[in-house]
Structure 1
């Protein structure tokens, strides 16, 4: 039996001018949704920065009737209701100031599992598809849950590869559970739940997939995960907004670079250029940066090369060997050690970095791979 707190929370959130932030102001002041419903309109002067207009709709009987119908719909359709102020929201999402007050969930979310949001364009190319296949293949033995938006293209591929590799996946919807958009993904949505994943939305059951909902949805995609990976997106694509939310929440963002002439890579390139995302050079490096444990022993490179085919120049060999013998040596110390000016060493180190032979750290320190 669902407690009255859920009933009043739904009614309160339905009020005009009571968004997620105002909802939590009311909860902080009155202790519960039930108390906020009963006292919010009468005692609004206690609320910092909240006027009579904001609370004017509290107490509206129509919202109580709506809440009753919503609870009945959720019970009939095995939909869980999660209230943030009761600590029921996913942990990382709960840290976001503008996190949803109420979440509707079908299926299961293991909050202890690391979550990775992987997003991109509906117009996926073979380049993006190959990256997703390689990533899931390389992380077969790692424990994590993927998150995406159930759209066509990249999102669909992420959910399908997750299921194929027996990884739980979370689809964040831009509408309520009376609808499924796009309809083509209905069977996939059912499979996600069957295979131990979840469908998640902040929208009540009657909310349609309106255009403005998708940007709002993207903040959940970004907030629920420790990292967001943008595979392919054009200028101004929806995934750019997901990356922006992730940056605002101080989460890691990675983007797959592509040709500047490829429309589907221009958004990724822009994120990298403006330091809004770290460029993905290899799947192996990405896995290391994500901190995924127990990756496969052999991880295919996104841009593969064979070490036996790399012919280093004499200068490259000399610099490489010097770094190898002095791990985490700084540029200045290296210059003194081998008696070569720093400005002449740096271009050679950059060449070695591009070849995957050297890795740089903050403070211009280097180690040999």
Structure 2
């Protein structure tokens, strides 16, 4: 019976104009994918929001035949088909309103591990690489699962360094599981599968790595985890969409700051300044967020320690935050009679130096 539901689910989702949201509406109205597939056009039109254009191909045997071929492909290649309406998606991902109706999975991973998503530019610099290498050594033996997109650059480095430290890792693809893009990562993907990891995709075996698929894929990377770490990204980098998804899901985002002159740090600096991500001033920030390694000794810092010596402009701001323990940008502006736009660059500078911490809702406290 379940295999039959899988068949009709794949057929229904493959139908034009039936995206993830409409798919779930049909399931809610009909009770199952099979029942939705067999509904008459008259009854389908009675579902709010479903007109002739949307329902046109529901019940078309062409898509049922496609689904049969897809199931055969998955069976031959040891690919599991996970259905959202049967509560088979990864736990956190299933909580997202726009989660995929169907997810294809090759390989197995321990669902009890804590997922952490790591994203960033394909043009990773030595700075970003060194950060990932050090972070992975600290995350070793912490029962974590590293999630990324198996792309070149940051993604590949995150997967590779995870494996070096015996950390399971999952790759989310922007195409069907009939191929592996980029081809340079075929060996890496194979090792991930052999060592307690998996490869996931919402795309069927006839779908190629089109540009829009990568942006669509990013919501799964963001939704999979409670924490997303942005290593390096330019202003318009694809990682910015992952941040937007994570923010919309109320998930924590941390970003690695860098020099304002470095193009692949500019996106990170921007989302930090906009309170879309918390700043990573030391590796302990990540461990604290995950509730790991409460001992704060012997954890390396990203920056050299220095004495707190503030200029006349920054000192009253720091003192006001210290006095109030935690204060919003608006309240800080009112107390000091300084416009917010003048406060923000000083606050960012204090945050980069690890003197203060930024919280959601533009709240600040002493670090």
Contact persistence 1:136–1:161 (CA under 8 A): yes
Give the alignment's TM-score, normalised by structure 2.
0.85
Larger radius of gyration: 1
- Relative distance call for 1:311 and 1:158 in structure 2 (3 A) is closer
For 1:351 and 1:173, how far apart are their aligned partners in 2? Answer: 37
Contact persistence 1:233–1:265 (CA under 8 A): yes
Residue in 2 aligned with 1:130?
Answer: 130
Matched, 1:169 2:161: no
Unaligned runs of at least 5 residues, structure 1: 333-341, 344-348
- Per-residue CA distance 1:74-127 (angstroms, 9 max, x = gap): 000000000000000011111111110000001113333221110000111000
For 1:224 and 1:173, how far apart are their aligned partners in 2? Answer: 13
Structure 1 range deviating more: 187-196 or 294-303? 294-303
Matched, 1:211 2:211: yes
Structure 1 residue 303, shift from structure 2 partner: 1.4
Residue in 1 aligned with 2:331?
Answer: none
* Count of aligned pairs between the two proteins: 342
Structure 1 range deviating more: 193-202 or 288-297? 288-297
- Relative distance call for 1:133 and 1:24 in structure 2 (3 A) is same
Structure 1 residue 45, shift from structure 2 partner: 3.1
Contact persistence 1:255–1:272 (CA under 8 A): yes
- What does 1:303-314 correspond to in 2, within 5 Å? 303-305=303-305, 310=306
For 1:159 and 1:207, how far apart are their aligned partners in 2? Answer: 24
For 2:363 and 2:203, how far apart are their aligned partners in 1? Answer: 48
- Relative distance call for 1:297 and 1:110 in structure 2 (3 A) is farther
Structure 1 residue 287, shift from structure 2 partner: 1.8
Residue in 1 aligned with 2:153?
Answer: 153
Contact persistence 2:279–2:351 (CA under 8 A): no
| Runs of 4+ more than 6 Å apart | 349-355, 357-367
- Relative distance call for 1:176 and 1:329 in structure 2 (3 A) is same
Structure 1 range deviating more: 150-159 or 112-121? 112-121
- What does 1:192-211 correspond to in 2, within 5 Å? 192-211=192-211
For 1:150 and 1:363, how far apart are their aligned partners in 2? Answer: 33
Structure 1 residue 274, shift from structure 2 partner: 1.8
Structure 1 residue 225, shift from structure 2 partner: 0.6
For 1:351 and 1:211, how far apart are their aligned partners in 2? Answer: 36
- What does 1:178-327 correspond to in 2, within 5 Å? 178-293=178-293, 298-305=298-305, 310=306
Residue in 1 aligned with 2:332?
Answer: none
Contact persistence 1:140–1:295 (CA under 8 A): no
Structure 1 residue 46, shift from structure 2 partner: 2.9
Matched, 1:75 2:70: no
Unaligned runs of at least 5 residues, structure 2: 327-334, 337-346
For 2:352 and 2:209, how far apart are their aligned partners in 1? Answer: 44
- Relative distance call for 1:49 and 1:282 in structure 2 (3 A) is same
Residue in 1 aligned with 2:340?
Answer: none
RMSD of equivalent CA atoms: 3.0
Give the alignment's TM-score, normalised by structure 1.
0.84
Residue in 1 aligned with 2:140?
Answer: 140
For 2:105 and 2:232, how far apart are their aligned partners in 1? Answer: 28
Structure 1 residue 2, shift from structure 2 partner: 6.1
Contact persistence 1:92–1:226 (CA under 8 A): yes
